[in-house]
Amino acid sequence: MTKNGIEAAIAKLRSEPGKRIELRDDKEAGLLIRAGERGASWSLAVRLQDGQRTRIKLGTWPGMGIAEARAAARVARTQIDQGSNPNERKRVARRTAAIASLNRKTLSEVIEDYDKAVLSQHRRGAQTKRALDGKRGLLRTLLNRQPESIMKAEISDLVKKHAKTAPIAANRNLAYASAFFNWCVDEGVLAENPAEKVRKPSKENERERFHTIGELKEIWAAAGTLGYPFAQLFRLLIVLPNRREEVAAMPVEHLDLASDRAPGDAVWLLPGARTKMNNALRVPLSRLARSIIIEAMEHPDRPKDSKLVFTTTGDTPVSGFTKGRRRLDQAIQAARIKRTGDEETPEMPHWVVHDLRTTFNTHGCEILGIPPHVADRILNHVATATRSKIMRVYNKSELFEPRKEALSAWASLLEQRVIPSSKLVVS
């Protein structure tokens, strides 16, 4: 192996794109130079003490000449004889440098790294990030701190403070923070997770709240005073017991509204990427659900040519649910006071939109006799009401026709006992 021989081999490669060569040294065992289009580098082919073969990178040509490469090979071989692995030492050095770089970052910067590496791959990643560093995020007051300076007591205090106004949300945000800190430990940013042994501030039970038929009447009537899009949205959530986020972001292109001659054949195609359980579902639309969707699509306040059924911007799904619910609750209470003539009339007991799903499940099974496994499939659960093994098998099938019959029966019940006979259409 000579300098002229190496340079001649490299020059020859320039006329043969894509080809690579290896030249072995005849003086230093295992030393070789590998050349290609982009350059040449030295390495040492050697067997470690455990018998494993490996190649140790030594340097690049021409920065490292033949004599320097032979000397580097002897040093590497000596390290191996002493029980060391030069490649592993380099990896540890790179890892240490990376950790040192991360440890110089603020918590805010590390959260950004976490977002790019992990949350960006998750369907609800943006929501999780807001729970960490958003305006109401659990860690928002610590963002300028070094991660290693954050103590368990601080996380515990933040969780307790958050739980005073939103106990269940505090549980969720603690879980998000713990997952983030676990990632920090895995990446070497932290030695331990400061949120690991922080207790959930609130006990969680399965919600048992469901609406009576009388309460459904009140919600339906009050929703009609809200105007587009919330009037149609809240009513559709009563008729079609899907999750709020799924219905609110309903795209027009996923709807097959059939024809006026066969309105019962309408279907909503719900892709797996938009469901909590990540499983696609064909949702049969009852005539009542279809009429509400058409009403929303044809409403003069809906931006023309929008790809969404419920939108105020034309480009993004409807938002502002907190304000919408506040207006709905105010309308319900105003109707109660008007009916009783008493300003001290009690308000409707606390409820959340998700309770409308429980309401369907309760009345559908008790009044209409809908089989639990069919109701579960309508709610797109894995198997909450039907936990037996045989019922979980049922839940793997689509059960389209049984669901269609059940939702049609539910719509008929609403038309008979909930919806005022005078008007179905709202302004």
Between 80-94, 289-303, 318-332, 385-399, the lowest mean confidence (pLDDT) is in: 385-399
Q: Across the chain, which distance is largest between two alpha carbons, in Å? A: 106
In DSSP terms, 36 is beta-bridged to 39
pLDDT digits (tens, 9 = 90+) for 254-288: 999 999 999 989 999 988 666 555 567 899 999 99
Dihedral sign from CA coordinates of 158, 161, 166, 170: positive
Q: Identify the three-state secondary structure at position 267.
A: strand
Angle between helical axes of 400-417 and 213-223 (0-180°, round to 10): 80
Q: Which of 283, 224, 277, 226 is nearest to 251 (CA)?
A: 283
pLDDT digits (tens, 9 = 90+) for 284-294: 999 999 999 99
d(CA 425, CA 228) in angstroms, rounded, equals 11
Q: What phi, psi does 234 have (nearest 5°)?
A: -65, -40
Average pLDDT on 66-93 reads: 82
pLDDT digits (tens, 9 = 90+) for 352-362: 999 999 999 99
Nearest 10 degrees: CA dihedral of 127, 128, 132, 133?
-40
Cβ contact 40:10 at 8 Å: yes
Instruction: Give the model's confidence band at 391: pLDDT under 50 very low, under 70 low, under 90 confident, else very high.
Output: very low
**Burial of 149: CB neighbours in 10 Å, binned 0-12, 13-18, 19+:** exposed
Nearest 10 degrees: CA dihedral of 69, 71, 77, 79?
-110
pLDDT digits (tens, 9 = 90+) for 136-178: 899 999 999 988 899 999 999 999 998 888 888 888 899 999 9
Q: How far is CA 358 from CA 67, 212, 223, 403, in A?
A: 79, 11, 19, 16
Cβ contact 178:196 at 8 Å: yes
Give the model's pLDDT for residue 383: 47
Amino acid making up residue 143: L
Give the model's pLDDT for residue 385: 40
**Fold classified for 213-417:** hpI Integrase; Chain A (1.10.443)
Classify 3-101 by CATH class.
alpha beta
Q: Where are the domains of the chain?
A: 3-101, 105-186, 213-417
d(CA 417, CA 191) in angstroms, rounded, equals 61
pTM above 0.75, yes or no: no
Give the model's pLDDT for residue 207: 58
The separation between CA 119 and the C-alpha centre of its own chain, rounded to angstroms, equals: 7
